[in-house]
Structure 1
Amino acid sequence: MAAHKVTSMDVARMAGVSQSAVSRVFTPGASASPKTVAKVRKVAEALGYRPNVLARAMVSGKSGIIGLVVAYLNNQFYPEALEKLSNALQERGYHVLIFMASNTAQNIDKIVGEILDFQVDGIVAASVALSSDLSDRCRAAGVPMVLFNRGQDDPTMSSVTSDNLAGGRKVAEFLLAAGHKKISYVAGWEGASTQRDREAGFVAALHQAGLTLHSREVGNFGTEDARDATRRMFALDPPDAVFVANDHMAIAVMDTLRFELGLKIPEDVSVVGYDDVAVAAWPSYDLTTVRQPANRMVAETVDILLSKIDDPQIEPKQLEIDGPLIIRGSARIPEGWQT
């Protein structure tokens, strides 16, 4: 025989309080005396009672749940950032549901539709691009969304990124100051705003100095694609410096250069990445890279989303946060450069 499911009425009866008092104890922000809270929680623990969050959401209109949708986790930046996002939201009283999606419009539309079915209060979309139809659907449902580490050509959509244009410029200026002339670029997935803006800033600074890209390959933000891109790039006329659109690919580029092609870094070629993930600082890589200010990006994302939940009339924001170039040993350091 199935065990009896403990209800709030059972807790109220044993604690000697009203059912509404039990409800207040388990409702964030509701008022209950310390004595009542202690009594109710002690009884609830003894009985094994857990409040029905979804049922409460149907009554209040708020689920207390934020949906996080992410396209991939193999790039170390995202597991670290998602952990920070989850912790920050939980500190503000929200529960988090994480959904994985491939970066195709059809799949993302399906996943976000499923998220909306959970009656979430808001959505953070990390590393995914959305169709205008989908953003309209979220607005119609009254569910605010913030793009994390992705921008979108939609002034009605809030987004938080690092300043990718400025980051690309910093890398070019650093490599130029070190005297490099044959400077190449390994691109990420070309549908990503981060990829587009990093390359645009990088190329613009090269052009300002009278140079063009020596060569360009596409690594699609993936390990194997980055390895293949490196082989093609160094097969004929090798560059003397390479900017790689993120650290995840830069690690693959460095491994291919050293262990397959027999080149020395930075003596034969300088390598610079973007993100400053934890592995970038390992002595075996010692990767020069642009740091994404993840803590501030997370804080701004949470503030924008929760403000929009509280007041749907707040205007959308598109924030670009500057991040520093972190100088390590994978790239030639210009004489007199301040590290």
Structure 2
Amino acid sequence: MNAPFPNRAADAAKLPLTVLIAAPRGFCAGVDRAIEIVERAIERYGAPVYVRHEIVHNRYVVDGLKAKGAIFVEELDEVPDGVPVIFSAHGVPKSVPAEAEERGLTYVDATCPLVSKVHRQAERQIEAGRHILFIGHRGHPEVIGTFGQVPPGGMTLVETLSDVETLDFPEGEELSFLTQTTLSVDDTAAIVEALKQRYPNIVAPKAEDICYATSNRQAAVKEIAPASDLVLVIGAPNSSNSLRLVEVAERFGTKAHLIQRASEMEPSWLEGVATLGLTAGASAPEELVREVIDRLAEWREVEEHTLVTAEEKMVFKLPREVTE
């Protein structure tokens, strides 16, 4: 009897693939805190608990919380009377908690403490009589929330170096600057330098506003990108910090893709790739990193190496509304 015809595709040895995994990656302390706030609120108040805006920018996380009893809405008028509501980690304008109080709604503010710090700085600069130049991305929830901390007209958005050139504040005007917490470290430094050149007396924040997690994740990508043929960033297309990680990799001339799940990957991406860099934005859970590695292992013989560039031990306290 003849032997069965061999399946050469199955028997063929997989090509090796070195995967350089960035560390730190994934969840930051602010995201951990925000997710725990929603979970504890559901335990304490019972489902449903409403959340204004995505608690963090990650569909996997949002869907997981929906399954536990969270309902996500864009505006407060979508929240029925008598149910608790949570404000997202990105922060909200002052008008939002004011409206909640007026309606007698129980609310929990999950704003990242590092974003709240920027809010307090904005208030102090206005109190000191300074106009604020805010470096950030138009339409991002964090920018909307920060603008909502000060009176209309108290803040001007600066997105690019060319925006700096078009500013026309008179000499002697009291100015200060603040930044969104999830920006490109390098781009922001260039804009800050341009502002200081144009307005030498501009008042800087006491400490950098870009958060530790954003800075650390970008620094980690700077380590893996030069040694990689391709970098994959796990994150949402509306996640500012994840988009910045793609940009950081591309500046090294390395091809980079932003993906939300392993299912978005194509085997053709690995053609000519011997070393792949992998990281995750601050809203992406570690399960998605393992999911991507498992999918890569279906196609190639994966050898993992983790490159640690910083240790993160930051933990933020939970608000009393979910702890007492």
Q: Which has the higher contact order (CA 8 A, sep 6+)?
A: 2
Q: Report the TM-score when normalising by structure 1.
A: 0.34
Computing the radius of gyration over CA atoms, which structure comes out larger, 1 or 2?
Answer: 1
